[in-house]
Amino acid sequence: VVITQGRYIASAVRKDQYPERELPEIVFIGRSNVGKSSLINSLTRIRGLARVSAQPGKTQTINFFELTAKLRDEKTGEEEGRKDFYLVDLPGYGYAKTGKERRKIWKKFIDEYLLTSPNLQFVCQLIDIRHEPMASDVEMFQWLVEHHVPVLIVATKADKIGKNARQKNIAAIRRALGVKEISILPYSSVKNEGRSDLLDVIRETLV
């Protein structure tokens, strides 16, 4: 899969601000500062598509990016055409400085989006590979599972730890989430590691 085009479409704080065009949606979610913007930029190879910000917790909107993927069967090399889809960037959760009231409003808005989007393919939930998942990560994950939203866990900043620690930490994430068999994809936006695996998952949902 190659992302050939990408552009910012809309930011929504209300339902009527969602884009009109119906396209498959692939959603990215994670705590502030987990590396979500960096991953989106690395994945699409479009620099600055999602802002990499030094101010965590600032974006409180659902951001839609319209991307075009050129699909190719990895085994046969056969071209499978082009597909447009939305990459949906959800605001970071678990930011301590966000007040309780705002957090509640935010949660309601996000939950509503996740439960009502007719075209949602899967949610990519990002968790920092270096740390045990926080309570907010576990809550988010369990909420997604409970509501039957397909979720892929991506462990970010994989370049920051050695190979041995990586396996250990991935096991710890699995344990904290309370699931034994879930596959967790390590990703480094600095080295673009995990990129082709993630693009493969996206391809599978688009064909």
Outline where 31-76 has alpha helix (H). 36-44
Count of residues that bind ligand GDP according to CB under 6 A = 19
Q: What is the contact mask toward ligand GDP in residues 135 to 154, using x (rule: CB under 6 A)?
A: --------------------
- Strands (DSSP E) contained in the chain are 2-12, 25-30, 62-72, 79-89, 120-128, 151-156, 184-186
Binding status of residue 189 toward ligand GDP by CB under 6 A: yes
Q: What is the contact mask toward ligand GDP in residues 69 to 108, using x (rule: CB under 6 A)?
A: -----------------------x----------------
Partners of residue 7 on adjacent β-strands? 66
Binds ligand GDP (CB under 6 A): choice among 12, 19, 23, 33: 33
Binding status of residue 34 toward ligand GDP by CB under 6 A: yes
Question: Please, are residues 120 and 152 in contact by the beta-carbon 8 Å criterion?
Answer: no
Query: Does residue 84 sit in helix, strand or coil?
Result: strand
Contacts (CB under 6 A) with ligand GDP, residues 152-171: 156-157, 159-160
Would you tell me how many other CB atoms lie within 10 Å of the CB of residue 142? Answer: 13
Binds ligand GDP (CB under 6 A): choice among 6, 35, 91, 194: 35
Cα-to-chain-centroid distance, residue 70: 20
37 — phi, psi (to 5°)?
A: -60, -40
Q: Which span (15-23, 51-59, 109-117, 166-174) binds ligand GDP, by CB under 6 A?
A: 51-59
Strand 25-30 and strand 79-89: the pairing is parallel
Binds ligand GDP (CB under 6 A): choice among 94, 188, 195, 199: 188
